[in-house]
Amino acid sequence: MGKAKSAAFPYLVWMVIFILVPTALVVVFAFTDRSGCFTLKNLEGVGRYSNVFLRSIGLGAAATAVSLAAGYPLAYRIARTHARRRNALIMLVMLPMWMNFLLRTYAWMTLLEDSGILNHILRFLGLPAAHMINTQGAVVLGMVYNYIPYMILPLYSVLTKIDRSVIEAAQDLGADGRTVFLRVTLPMSMPGVISGVTMVFVPAVSTFIISRMLGGGSNLLVGDLIDMQFLGSAYNPNLGSAISLVLMVLILICMGIMNQFDENGATEGGVMV
Amino acid sequence: MKTVSKVYAFLVFLFLYAPIAVLIVFSFNGSATMSRSVWSGFSLQWYARLLQDRMLLEALRNTLVIAVIAAAVSTVLGTAAAVGINGMNRWARRAVMNVTNFPMVNPDIVTGVSLMLLFVAVSKAMGGRSLGMVSLVLAHITFCLPYVILSVMPKLRQMDPNLYEAAQDLGCPPAASFFRVVLPEILPGVVTGLIMAFTLSIDDFVVSYFTSGTTQTLPIFIYSMTRKRVSPEINALSTLLFAAIILLLIVINLRTAKDGQEKTAGKER
């Protein structure tokens, strides 16, 4: 397929203009001050916010883990249903994504509030009211709710493509259900797991609306910091670029490790489990 | 076991849909105080107000125009790119995939901020034209592309490469081999990519927030309302959009069901 390569050319040009150049601009801004002179002050300034970074990573990781644990069984079940019902079910997974995420998050505000619907229900059942809004749990819940379809879709996509005869072969060779899952299905679905984890973790770590709406003022995340530097009260695009740069590098390191994982999975098949 | 998995699926769908149901129910709330959780009678007043809100309708139109253009362009560019990348040697493929993964891996907020820096610099150089529809469309295509490629790539990898070569050995020209052999094989991935691009574009707030200038899209309009106090007009709009999507889904589903029946009937004959 020698000629096929050129099909990627327009895309490569696009990426240079709209990804590489803007990223270079972020780096330039991060290392300069307002008058355009080289400085390291911005990066030093980022150090003050390490607790915010830790909180963002912790909450994002929790949301990713919950999404994977909750999403995998559903993707597996949908992949196993009859083809005609399968499309309807996967559309049901995608449908909430068509509602804007600000609205979905807003809906959770009305559910979780102290005088909200869940507390109305708790009171109706004679249970004590619970304080749910403005907690870290509420932020994780909002992340899972918003991003779980991005976990389910790639998992489903890979699981449906698995050749049934491979599974039947494993069964014929005497593997029970659990062994088939752990040694055949799960390793073969690893590319889907990797895509899903990436697609959930990245937006969860960098969100600024979910934390603002469900976390109250006390659960500030990195995204909130960046927004404040560019469009908020603390206007300082140079510091904002420095924070963005650090966030970007941290996530690239995490994902570099994930990619390594994917390469092994793709080339060595079932060796991982 | 069967029941357990059914109950589980039901619970996940309940989790996904309960908040939406709440949004819809409160779009019919008659309360004049715009309370979020106190029901005070059925009313259609928010729908009436919605149809009079010109800003909101314009934001909706902008959102749809951007989503259609961005989804179409990114699907074509992305599918071509996936085929090209798949034909590269291991080293080149790895390098290009790293660049492809970058905007996906790169947080939206950083993509938004970096594109904002680019567009502001370009518009300054071009004599101070402000950001707007053009910068929004360019930004949306950029963040949709990797999702299209990542939907198409697994299908290409799972495809037997000999199929394409076999078509060519049988005298089929490369372009025709692509459309008649490769495309049908990867079509589910292409369609997934198209739908994802469209959904992502409609749903995008973060990148638009930084690249829109003064142009309003629906999410930006909603954001400005949540900063004050959400008007149930927005609930009404969500309800209408949701109804439209359900209608679309039913139509698609009926057509696939019909296709399926025709196919099986054809086989029986």
DSSP 3-state assignment of B88? coil
Give me the pLDDT at residue A231, please.
Answer: 86
Helix %, strand %, coil % of chain B (to 5): 80, 0, 20
Q: Do A84 and B81 touch (CB under 8 A)?
A: no
Residues on chain A touching B26 (C-beta within 8 angstroms): 110
Q: Closest Cα of chain A to B51: distance in Å?
A: 19
Q: Do A100 and B205 touch (CB under 8 A)?
A: yes
| Domains in chain B, number | 2
**8 A C-beta contact, residue B196 and residue B151:** yes
Q: Is residue B265 part of a domain?
A: no
Return d(Cα A161, Cα A185) in angstroms, integer. Answer: 11
Closest CA to A189 of A90, A97, A79, A61: A79
Question: Beta partners for A32?
Answer: A38
Q: Is the pLDDT of residue A2 over 60?
A: no
Q: Best interface-test mutation with A: which of B23, B110, B226 has the largest number of A CBs within 10 A?
A: B110
* B214 and B119 co-located in one domain: yes
* B20 and B73 co-located in one domain: no
CB-nearest partner of B105 from A97, A251, A266: A251
- The first and second tokens of residue B143, run together, are 């963040």
Give me the pLDDT at residue A272, please.
Answer: 31
DSSP 3-state assignment of A99? coil
- Report domain extents, chain A: 57-272
- The first and second tokens of residue A243, run together, are 């924070």
- The residues, ordered by sequence, that sit 6+ positions from A126 with a Cβ below 8 Å of its Cβ are none
Mean pLDDT for the stretch of residues A1-19: 83
- The residues, ordered by sequence, that sit 6+ positions from B268 with a Cβ below 8 Å of its Cβ are none
pLDDT tens digit sequence for A103-117: 888 888 888 888 778
Count Cα atoms within 13 angstroms, Cβ side, for B268. 6
Give me the pLDDT at residue B258, please.
Answer: 65
* B137 and B21 co-located in one domain: no
Q: Do A206 and B108 touch (CB under 8 A)?
A: yes
Residues on chain A touching B5 (C-beta within 8 angstroms): 73, 77
Q: Closest Cα of chain B to A230: distance in Å?
A: 8
* B24 and B65 co-located in one domain: no
Return d(Cα B144, Cα B69) in angstroms, integer. Answer: 11
* B62 and B130 co-located in one domain: yes
Q: Closest Cα of chain B to A120: distance in Å?
A: 9
Question: Beta partners for B42?
Answer: B29
Chain B's closest residue to A197, CA to CA, is: B105
* B33 and B73 co-located in one domain: no
Q: Do B102 and A19 touch (CB under 8 A)?
A: yes
Q: Is residue B164 part of a domain?
A: yes
Q: Is the pTM of this model over 0.90?
A: no
Chain A's closest residue to B121, CA to CA, is: A25
Return d(Cα B78, Cα A7) in angstroms, integer. Answer: 10
B204 is in which domain, residue-wise?
53-255
Give me the pLDDT at residue A268, please.
Answer: 38
* B88 and B206 co-located in one domain: yes
- The first and second tokens of residue B205, run together, are 């707030």
* B124 and B171 co-located in one domain: yes
pLDDT tens digit sequence for A181-222: 888 888 999 989 998 998 899 889 988 889 988 888 778 899
| Share above pLDDT 70 across residues of chain A, in percent, rounded to a whole number | 94
DSSP 3-state assignment of B129? coil
Return d(Cα B9, Cα A74) in angstroms, integer. Answer: 6
* B1 and B102 co-located in one domain: no
Chain A's closest residue to B202, CA to CA, is: A98
What's the whole-number average pLDDT of chain A?
86
Q: Is residue B39 part of a domain?
A: yes
Q: Best interface-test mutation with A: which of B31, B90, B106, B264 has the largest number of A CBs within 10 A?
A: B106
Chain A touched by B67 (CB under 8 Å): no
DSSP 3-state assignment of A128? coil
Q: How far is CA A132 from CA A70, B16, B266, in A?
A: 21, 18, 57
Out of A7-21, A259-273, B24-38, B212-226, give the one with best mean pLDDT.
A7-21
Return d(Cα A234, Cα A248) in angstroms, integer. Answer: 21
Q: Do A116 and B202 touch (CB under 8 A)?
A: no
Chain B's closest residue to A23, CA to CA, is: B114
A57-272 homologous superfamily: MetI-like (1.10.3720.10)
Counting every residue written for chain B, the total comes to: 269
Q: Is residue B185 part of a domain?
A: yes
- The residues, ordered by sequence, that sit 6+ positions from B257 with a Cβ below 8 Å of its Cβ are A84
Chain A's closest residue to B239, CA to CA, is: A99
Please give the ipTM for the structure prediction.
0.83
Q: Closest Cα of chain B to A137: distance in Å?
A: 16
- At B85, which CATH number? 1.10.3720.10
**8 A C-beta contact, residue A202 and residue A248:** no
Q: Is residue B268 part of a domain?
A: no
Mean pLDDT by 10 residues, chain B (269 residues): 84 92 85 64 84 87 95 95 89 87 84 93 80 92 93 88 83 82 88 88 90 89 75 79 79 69 52
Q: Do A104 and B20 touch (CB under 8 A)?
A: yes
Chain A touched by B85 (CB under 8 Å): yes
Residues on chain A touching B138 (C-beta within 8 angstroms): 18
Chain B's closest residue to A263, CA to CA, is: B94
Q: Is residue B160 part of a domain?
A: yes
* B7 and B112 co-located in one domain: no
* B173 and B232 co-located in one domain: yes
DSSP 3-state assignment of B138? helix
Q: Is residue B74 part of a domain?
A: yes
Q: What are phi and psi of B42, to 5 degrees?
A: -75, 140
Give me the pLDDT at residue A1, please.
Answer: 46
Q: Is the pLDDT of residue A139 over 70?
A: yes
Give me the residue label for tokens 């603002």.
A212
Q: Is residue B261 part of a domain?
A: no
Q: Best interface-test mutation with A: which of B7, B8, B15, B16 has the largest number of A CBs within 10 A?
A: B16
B227-245 residues labelled b (16+ CB within 10 A) or e (exposed):
eeebbbbbbbbbbbbbeee
Residues on chain B touching A259 (C-beta within 8 angstroms): 98, 101
**8 A C-beta contact, residue A101 and residue A213:** no
CB-nearest partner of A244 from B99, B113, B189: B113
Chain A touched by B115 (CB under 8 Å): yes
* B120 and B218 co-located in one domain: yes
